[in-house]
């Protein structure tokens, strides 16, 4: 690929990304760099800046394939023509990873398109001659309107998306297989001790997601100090902290906690598995041992051994388990474990007779949501729907006439 996005860490710990052009020996592209630095750096997270660059990269790829430069057109007093905007939109919509002719989702397209529109508007304001004249302002407004009209309508209504969310949980057969792995994390590796550390690490990570419902970024941000062993009659728990701009995190693509800080309880078995993993972790080269060292590390021999596990490293481990558990298929991904936790939470809340208000409040605390979160209401609705179905089925059965 001609254009690439690289992430870096400044000396003050700030993360930033640059769009590079391989044709120019990897030199950062001038206008995209200025746009992100001036327009997004102060008020947007690093992840949002990356999203903007992914959209701009699509624009640059289109320019390269069509043999034109938007900034040159604008500097020459030319705006994008309607057919060019249509062609650009079609280019951005095309999937780069799937089969020929496949398209990306409307949601992903709209994110890319939003930042492309903002970038073109910024370029127009900087480069277009006579842009303050009445005639030129009208042309600029027309261009902006044509770009806006290319935004796609949502592929599904909010009600349908909420319905899909309500339906998302682990299949029971898949849950049984997952719990079996939790109970015997080294099954199948009895004669391969060299892989025990990596397997235990991966099982512990997935079990934490299953038991706590935390996010992937929160998991990868856990440090040794965040694991609190059981003491004085209190069970073990994990501490989740907000960590944006953590100067001690040397990963350029920093995993971050998107929710509020909180403590989350874990089972005695998981506590022991974490303790067992810490023993294995201590034998890794370059693994830190201070309280601020990250809990999950790279186990592969080499320069990165002992470093904090990256998002890509976690994704690779997760993909392995998804392939190893065909009964789960594509349904197994980090966030489905969060959905499943909420499903089980509703079941437990119902079994202890918790009121709907208390259930929502407890769920908000456990998930790190602000009070009054709409997500808590949606998850509460899931269990109410199941209860309504059960009552409705009982009523339907009551109408059945006994056979003669």
pLDDT at 332 over 80: no
For residues 147 and 237, give the distance between their C-alpha atoms in angstroms, rounded to a whole number.
50
For residues 285 and 225, give the distance between their C-alpha atoms in angstroms, rounded to a whole number.
20
Domain ranges of the chain: 3-149, 172-327
For residues 323 and 319, give the distance between their C-alpha atoms in angstroms, rounded to a whole number.
6
pLDDT in tens, 23-70: 777 789 999 999 999 999 888 888 889 999 999 999 999 999 999 999
**Closest by Cα among 182, 185, 207, 206 to 196:** 185
Residue position matching structure tokens 């995209």:
32
Could you give phi then psi for residue 105, rounded to 5 degrees?
-65, 160
pLDDT in tens, 283-297: 999 999 999 999 999
Q: Give the DSSP H or E segment for 238.
A: strand 237-240
pLDDT at 326 over 90: no
Q: pTM of whole model > 0.75? A: no
pLDDT band at 358 (very low <50, low <70, confident <90, very high): confident
Q: What is the largest CA-CA distance in the chain?
A: 91
Torsion of CA 365, 367, 368, 373, to 10 degrees: -80
pLDDT at 347 over 80: yes
Answer for the pair 147, 100: CB distance below 8 angstroms, yes or no: no
79 DSSP 8-state letter = P
For residues 101 and 93, give the distance between their C-alpha atoms in angstroms, rounded to a whole number.
10
Output the CA angle 79-127-21, nearest 5 degrees. Answer: 90
Q: Is 13 left (phi over 0), alpha (psi -120 to 50) or beta?
A: left
pLDDT band at 382 (very low <50, low <70, confident <90, very high): low
Partner residues linked to 237 by β-bridges: 228, 265
Give the sheet arrangement for strand 227-228, strand by strand: 227-228, 237-240, 262-265
**Closest by Cα among 276, 296, 330, 323 to 214:** 296
Q: Give the DSSP H or E segment for 347.
A: helix 334-351
**Closest by Cα among 255, 261, 263, 227 to 242:** 261
22 DSSP 8-state letter = G
Domain 172-327 has CATH 1.10.443.10: yes
pLDDT in tens, 204-262: 999 999 999 999 999 999 999 999 999 988 999 999 988 776 777 778 778 877 788 89
Answer for the pair 170, 340: CB distance below 8 angstroms, yes or no: yes
């Amino acid at each position: 690929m001609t254009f690439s996005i690289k992430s870096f860490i400044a000396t003050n710990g700030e993360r930033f990304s640059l769009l590079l052009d391989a044709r120019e020996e990897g030199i950062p592209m001038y206008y995209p760099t200025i746009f992100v630095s001036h327009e997004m750096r102060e008020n947007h997270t690093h992840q949002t800046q990356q999203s903007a660059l992914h959209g701009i990269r699509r624009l640059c790829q289109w320019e390269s394939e069509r043999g034109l430069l938007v900034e040159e057109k604008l500097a020459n007093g030319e705006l994008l023509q309607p057919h060019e905007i249509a062609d650009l939109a079609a280019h951005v919509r095309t999937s780069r990873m799937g089969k020929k002719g496949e398209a990306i989702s409307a949601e992903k397209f709209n994110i890319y398109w939003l930042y492309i529109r903002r970038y073109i508007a910024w370029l127009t304001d900087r480069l277009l001659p006579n842009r303050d004249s009445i005639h030129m302002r009208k042309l600029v407004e027309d261009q902006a309107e044509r770009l806006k009209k290319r935004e796609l309508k949502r592929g599904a209504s909010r009600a349908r998306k909420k319905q899909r969310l309500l339906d998302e949980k682990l299949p029971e057969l898949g849950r049984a297989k997952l719990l079996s792995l939790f109970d015997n994390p080294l099954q199948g590796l009895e004669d391969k001790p060299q892989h025990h550390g990596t397997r235990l690490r991966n099982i512990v990570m997935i079990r934490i997601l299953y038991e706590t419902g935390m996010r992937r970024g929160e998991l990868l941000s856990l440090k040794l100090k965040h694991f609190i062993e059981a003491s004085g009659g209190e069970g073990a728990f994990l501490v989740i902290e907000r960590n944006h701009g953590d100067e001690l995190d040397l990963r350029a693509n920093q995993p971050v906690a998107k929710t509020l800080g909180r403590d989350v309880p874990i089972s005695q078995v998981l506590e022991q598995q974490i303790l067992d993993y810490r023993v294995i972790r201590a034998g890794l080269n370059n693994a830190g041992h201070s309280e601020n060292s990250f809990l999950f590390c790279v186990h592969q021999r080499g320069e990165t051994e002992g470093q904090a596990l990256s998002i890509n490293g976690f994704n690779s481990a997760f993909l392995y388990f998804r392939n190893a558990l065909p009964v789960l298929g594509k349904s197994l991904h980090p966030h489905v474990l969060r959905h499943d936790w909420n499903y089980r939470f509703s079941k437990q809340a119902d079994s202890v007779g918790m009121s709907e208000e208390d259930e929502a409040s407890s769920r908000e605390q456990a998930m790190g949501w602000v009070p009054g979160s709409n997500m808590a209401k949606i998850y509460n609705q899931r269990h109410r729907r199941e209860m309504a179905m059960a009552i409705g089925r009982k009523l339907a059965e009551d109408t059945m006439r006994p056979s003669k």
